[in-house]
Amino acid sequence: MHIALLRQKFLEFFAASNYKVLPAASLLPQNDPSVLFTTAGMQQFKPFYAEPSSAPSPQVATVQPVIRTSDIAEVGDDTHLTSFEMLGNFRFGQKSSLTMKREAIAEAWRFMTEILQIEEDRMYVTVFGGDKTTPADTESEGVWRSLGVSDIRQEGRADNFWGPTGDEGPCGPNTEIYVDGVEVWNLVFNQYFRDRDGNFTPLENAGLDTGSGLERLAATLAGKNSVWEIEPFAGWVSHTDPSKVRESRIIIDHLRAIIFLIASGVLPGNKGREYILRRLIRKAVFLASQLNRGFDWDIAVFHIHAFYSPVYELTNKDDILEVILAEKQQFDRNLNRARLYLEKWLKNHSDVDEKAITELAFYMYESFGFPKELVIEYLAGLGWKINNDHFNELFTKHQAVSRSGLERQFKGGLADHEPQTIRHHTAHHLLLAALQEVLGKDVVQKGSNVTSERLRIDFNFDRKLTEHELEKIETIVNQKIAEDLPVLGEEMGRDEALKSGAQAEFGAKYGSKVTVYTIGDFSKELCGGPHVQRTGELGKFKILKEEASSQGVRRIKARLN
């Protein structure tokens, strides 16, 4: 059965069974701050289990797109997906757990056997077998037997008891339906409340939470072991690169999630949801660059968008593509710089041990925006062995520095420690030195702001710069980048640093100990970092705008391409 038809039959069946069909919720949870994304169909209904009277109906059904990133490293195999659709039917305020189970289990069985026409000998069910804490779910087992099901398997708490989320809350046993050995349907019966001491008491109002992965169910019905063997997924992968199956699957999987996230209002960034989106785009871009044939982003987005837009409210396809291509353009530049750096590094290091190559891997991650797992995979593919423990140590230190940076405020006005921001920060030093060379040594920095999108410097000057002056400044910066000058940091006393000729930002406060960064013989500034190691990593410098900031202060905005 095609996915679109299966989705339709599910909603029609439960609508006819007196369930109110509700639209999918946003992928950005409105009432659950504990998670970044909607990860289950029941998420939007959490309040109704505690307050059934506030629910729009005592019985509701939905098809809910979800995003799950916990198994993102496993995507590309036969079973794991980042984004998928969850079929769900829910009940709130059920006075009798037994009555609820009789009705819900009978509905599930009718849907499987009558609507989907699955042969009973292809199926078995599981129930909670009980333990020292909670009794066995004999009610569900009895319902299954009354329906004529004989293959009933008792399982433990790990498989057949759900919740609670956190130390206390609603929870209960669940019963599952398996087809050809694959779990396709899970009914959770919230009938207990667990307190912080581990005591379970029956709830006055029980509830039902059913979940079934649409894609997995469709594949199982077709007798396939993987969603990638059914349409439209098989077609999407074959049109990507049939010779690179795993890479093609990841690209399509991530692109589906990317489209849904952008349609939900998420844009690439450096934190939380925005970083997840950036990571998904960058991994898809990297893998697309490894394919044996070109990947057409426009066509791929068109087909995936066209498949889902009749069902869900998606942003215009062209707007989604624009976000993807803008992030792709930035990451493509990073990839090219990373490859050039790697080639140069390997030429200069003939005898390399595992520790050195691991530190190289981390530097590429930190400085060029490679997702963590990609840089390890990339270097391993070239035959290098990475020490994962050492990499994780470096990664942990990096995270600590990033967190503490918010508390101590970055010197030089950095917004974050994103690799492109770090490159812009180093270019900021070159720009200040070039301004002094062209306009005079009296020029001092009055303010700055550095992000991954651009750098900005405010400096004292009493008139608008000419086109010739701007071109000369731009040329000087690009010359220093081409010279591949070393960027070195040295800690010393503040007074010693100032006597040595190091530049300090006007009005900035510095401690008794400072770090002085020098770029060849061209630039010398007090700065808290971070920076690239050599100017050759920066790329092409371009001035975007020159304007007045305030009386006697000019402002330049620029970026690296």
Mind listing the pLDDT tens digit for each residue in 530-549?
Answer: 888 899 989 999 999 998 87
Overall number of domains in the chain: 4
Cα torsion 242, 245, 251, 254: sign: positive
pLDDT of residue 407: 40
Q: Which residue is it, tokens 């349907």?
A: 185
Q: Is 343 part of a structural domain of the chain?
A: no
Question: Which whole-number Å values give the CA distances from 51 to 45, 56, 84, 172, 199, in the listed order?
Answer: 10, 11, 29, 18, 22
The answer to whether 170 and 164 are in contact (CB under 8 A) is yes
Asked whether residue 334 is domain-assigned, the answer is: no
**Do 248 and 202 belong together in one domain?**
no
How far is the C-alpha of 91 from the C-alpha of 227, rounded, in Å? 29
Asked whether residue 365 falls in the same domain as residue 251, the answer is no
Residue 463 belongs to a domain: yes
| Four-residue CA torsion sign, 189, 195, 198, 200 | negative
CA-atom Rg of the chain in angstroms: 29
CATH number of the domain enclosing 504: 3.30.980.10
One domain for residues 454 and 534:
yes
Q: Are residues 430 and 526 in the same domain?
A: yes
For residue 480, give its domain range. Answer: 419-560
Which residues, 6+ apart, have CB-to-CB distance to 212 below 8 Å? 10, 86, 87, 88, 184, 185, 186
**325, 340, 361 — which closes off a domain?**
325
Instruction: Evaluate if residue 356 carries a pLDDT over 70.
Output: yes
Residue 413 lies in a domain: no
Judge whether residue 432 has pLDDT over 60.
Answer: yes
DSSP 168: S
**pLDDT above 90 coverage of the chain, percent:** 59
Say if residue 401 is in the same domain as residue 436: no
94 and 156 in a single domain? The answer is yes
Q: Are 385 and 491 in contact (CB under 8 A)?
A: no
Q: Is residue 337 in some structural domain?
A: no
Question: DSSP assignment of 422-449, as one string?
Answer: HHHHHHHHHHHHHHHHHH-TT--EEEEE
H/E stretch holding 366: helix 354-368
pLDDT digits (tens, 9 = 90+) for 502-514: 887 655 556 677 8
CA separation for the pair 386, 360 (Å, rounded): 10
Q: Would you state the structure tokens that stand for residue 405, as one six-digit string?
A: 């940076």
Domain co-membership, 97 together with 190: yes
Here the tokens at position 475 are 């040329």
Are 119 and 79 part of one and the same domain? Answer: yes
317 half-sphere exposure, CB direction, 13 A CA radius? 14
Residue 249 lies in a domain: yes
**Do 211 and 235 belong to one domain?**
no
What is the model's pLDDT at position 324?
96
17-70 pLDDT, tens digit per residue, is 999 999 999 999 877 666 889 999 998 898 898 899 999 999 999 999 999 988
40 Cβ contact list (under 8 Å, min separation 6): 64, 66, 86, 88, 211
Dihedral over Cα of 80, 81, 82, 83: its sign: negative
Four-CA torsion 390, 421, 335, 558, nearest 10 degrees: -160
Judged by DSSP in three states, 357 sits in helix
- Is pLDDT of 411 > 50? no
Domain end: 204, 228, 252, which one?
228
Percent of the chain whose pLDDT exceeds 70:
94
The pLDDT tens digits for 301-339 are 999 999 999 999 899 999 999 999 999 998 888 888 888
Domain presence at residue 341:
no
Q: What is the C-alpha to C-alpha distance for residues 381 and 391, in angstroms, rounded to an integer?
A: 17
Amino acid at 173: P
Q: Averaged over 340-348, what is the pLDDT? A: 84
Calpha distance 44→553 (Å, rounded):
52
The enclosing domain of 12 has a CATH number of 3.30.930.10
User: Are 136 and 45 found together in one domain?
Assistant: yes
Q: Are residues 478 and 542 in the same domain?
A: yes
Are 248 and 222 found together in one domain? no
Q: Within a domain: residue 339?
A: no
CB 278 within 8 A of CB 327: yes
Domain boundary, last residue among 325, 360, 393: 325
**Residue 295 · residue 247 · CB < 8 Å:** no
Contacts of 163 (CB under 8 A, 6+ apart): 169, 170, 171, 172, 188, 190, 194
What does the block give as tokens for 153? 């398997």
